[in-house]
Amino acid sequence: MGATLDLSTYDPDDPDPWLALHLDQSMPIDPEAKAALLRGAASWSRRWMFNIIRPFVFVFFLLVKILRGLSPRYPNLNGLLHKTIHWGLKTFATPDANLLIVRHFNIGTELLAFIKANAGDVEINTVPLRPRTLKDLEDNVFLQHDLNVFNFVIQLNASLRKQGRDLMPVDRPDFSMISDEPFKIPRTKKGWLNFVDVQTAVEVYTPLYALMLPRSDFIRASNSLQLDEVVAIYIGKILGTDYHLSFIKNGHPLVPLSTMQAGFRLMLHGLDCEALHGWLRLMKRRQAAGLPMDPRARV
C-alpha cells in the first residue's frame, strides 16, 4: 500500500509522509478511521487510478449537467441509485472505504443529536441513520442524510427564533448520544476486485448521484457539504469554546462552491465530521474527568 504506519520503519533520511500523518495529533480523529483514510490515500488506487479517471469523470459530469439543464426533474431513479451504490461498494471498494462510508452516517446522526439535546426546548424531527452494513445503505440513506441536515438547520433555527433566543453555553453538556466505543460495523470482504479507495469511489459516485436524482436533490446535497462550519459553530456555542473551528475546512455555505467540486468537498465533509465527532468524544472524557470544556483553560 506504500505506507506501513509503523514507527519501527522510521528512517530520518527517508521519512514516510504517511507515518508522519499517522503520528500527528493535531486533529482528534478516531484511530481506526484515521488509519483507514491513510491506507486509502497511500494506495495505488488513489495515487494512480484516481488521476487517470478524473478527466473522464469531469466530461461525464459536464454531460450530466447539460442533461439536467434540459430535464431538471427526470429521470428520478432514487431507489436504483441506492442499489447501484450498494452494489458498487460491495463489488469494488476496499473494506476501509466501506467502513468510512458507513461510519459517516452514524457520526452525522450523533452530531445532530448532540446539538438537539443541548439546545433546550426545540422542535426538531429528523430521521436517525444507523446503518451497520452496506445493504442498509439501500434504505434511502444518502438522500435522507441530506434532508436531515437541512431540515435540522431550518427547524432548529425556527424554534430558536420563535423563542427569541440563540444557542448558549451549557454548564454540563449532555454527551450521552456520543458513542465512546467503536461502531459495531462489520468489515466487508476483500475480494480481488475490492481495490478502490474511498476518494476514488466518491469521485465516481458524485456524477452518478447528479444523473439519477432530480437537479434540486443534487444541488441540495452539494450545498449541504458546506454546512460543516455551521454545525461546528452550533457546537461551539454549546461548549463555550471555538477551539475546534481551527480544524473545520469545508467553508461557509453563504459562498457556495461549484457542484463540479462536490467530490473533493465530500471528502472534506467526511474529514470534518470525523474530527468533530472525535472532538466531542474528547470533551465527553474531559467532562468525566472534571476538566473544563475549553482545553486552553487553566485547571
Residue-wise pLDDT tens digits, 179-202: 998 999 999 999 999 999 999 999
Provide the pLDDT for residue 223.
Answer: 86
Which has the closest alpha carbon to 1: 236, 274, 238, 195? 195
**What are the phi and psi torsion angles at 248 (to 5°)?**
-100, 120
pLDDT at 149: 94
* Gyration radius of the chain's alpha carbons: 20
Q: Hey, what long-range contacts does 229-233 have (CB within 8 A, 24 or more apart)?
A: 229/253, 230/153, 231/111, 231/112, 231/115, 231/149, 231/276, 232/272, 232/276
Q: Tell me the per-residue pLDDT of 82-126, one tens digit each, with 9 for 90 and over.
A: 999 999 999 999 999 999 999 999 999 999 999 999 999 999 999
pLDDT per residue as tens digits for the range 119-163? 999 999 999 999 999 999 999 999 999 999 999 999 999 999 999
pLDDT value, residue 1:
43
Q: How confident is the model at residue 235 (pLDDT cuts 50, 70, 90)?
A: very high
Nine cell digits for residue 86: 450498494
Q: How far does CA 163 lie from the centroid of its chain?
A: 31
Residue 121's CB: how many other CB atoms inside 10 A? 8
Q: Is residue 298 scored above 80 in pLDDT? A: no
Distance of alpha carbon 294 from alpha carbon 170, whole angstroms: 13
For the chain, the average pLDDT equals: 92
User: What count of other Cβ atoms lies within 10 Å of the Cβ of residue 245?
Assistant: 12
- What pLDDT, in 10s, does the model give residues 10-60? 889 888 888 899 999 988 999 999 999 999 999 999 999 999 999 999 999
- According to the model, what pLDDT value does residue 293 have? 78
Give the pLDDT of residue 4: 65
Three-class secondary structure of residue 108 per DSSP? helix
